Amino acid sequence: MRWQRALLVLLKERKDHSIALAIDTSNRPERPMLIQNIVKLFEKLRPDTLLVQADFKIRDVSPVGVATIQYFKHGKSSYTEVLEWAAAQKIDTLFYITDVTGYFYEELEVNYEVFWLVPDDYMPRVPFGKPIRVA
């Protein structure tokens, strides 16, 4: 329950920020209901959130309450396009649901907050930003 409380606090503290929620769709997660519950939380607290579905490229960007999540089975994930999209859209805070096994261009400059929502028991080291284990 600690991660839910932490996520609630983060969303409330950023009520005046532009935020986006990205989902790594390169593999079907072990806990799809967990992902769905996170999406519902964003929908309830921040209905203006854009949901970005991406694997090695952005597959869909839509309002959080409208999107249908589609997963792929190839296992390839790149964060570069989503991170560039967030910068171009002037997103203040990006929440990214992923196992943090993807890659990104190291020259990429990220000038906004990133929270990695990791739905696994294993917490890998994140390249920047703050990890939150949501398992």
* pLDDT above 70 as % of the chain: 99
3-class DSSP state for residue 128?
Answer: coil
The type of residue at 84 is E
- Confidence label for 88 from pLDDT (cuts 50, 70 and 90): very high
pLDDT at 27: 85
pLDDT in tens, 14-70: 999 999 999 999 988 778 899 999 999 999 999 999 999 999 999 999 999 998 899
Q: Which two tokens stand for residue 17?
A: 């920020």
Q: What does the pLDDT average to over 59-85?
A: 90
Q: What is the per-residue burial (b if ≥16 Cβ within 10 Å, else e) of 97-135?
A: bbbbebebeeeeebebbbbbbbbbeeeeebeebebbebe
- Confidence label for 1 from pLDDT (cuts 50, 70 and 90): low
Q: Can you give the pTM of this predicted structure?
A: 0.94
Nearest CA-CA partner of 17 in 91, 73, 118: 91
Measured CA to CA, the distance from residue 76 to residue 88 in angstroms comes to 23
Measured CA to CA, the distance from residue 47 to residue 111 in angstroms comes to 24
What is the end-to-end Cα distance of the chain in Å, rounded? 10
pLDDT at 64: 95
Q: What does the pLDDT average to over 103-107?
A: 81
